[in-house]
Structure 1
């Protein structure tokens, strides 16, 4: 539960900082769909779904970190 709330807070904060950046919005919707689907199925414990989400998350965060440098 702490992970879900922390991830949501992180994504919402990033969206508030840059509302025109669609990559964080896409991450938020992907995380919400995986989490909500997990309420009726094995969403967040589904290894394949979470690997796709975290690979996309890593790519987006890496791109934005590289733009700051």
Structure 2
């Protein structure tokens, strides 16, 4: 999925809602027919910039985030 738009148009807001990190002020949001009501293991956010581990590649950062717990 790609979300494009000008600064201030709500890209971060909708991403946070889809990830379950923020609540809507009204209405409901659904994804694949299921209502989003909070965080879930089937959705996530890969944060950019300062949240990346600089000693890993971009792929290494993604792999680190989805590695199953040991």
State whether TM-score is above 0.5: no
Which has a greater percent of helix? 1
TM-score, normalisation: structure 1? 0.28
TM-score, normalisation: structure 2? 0.28
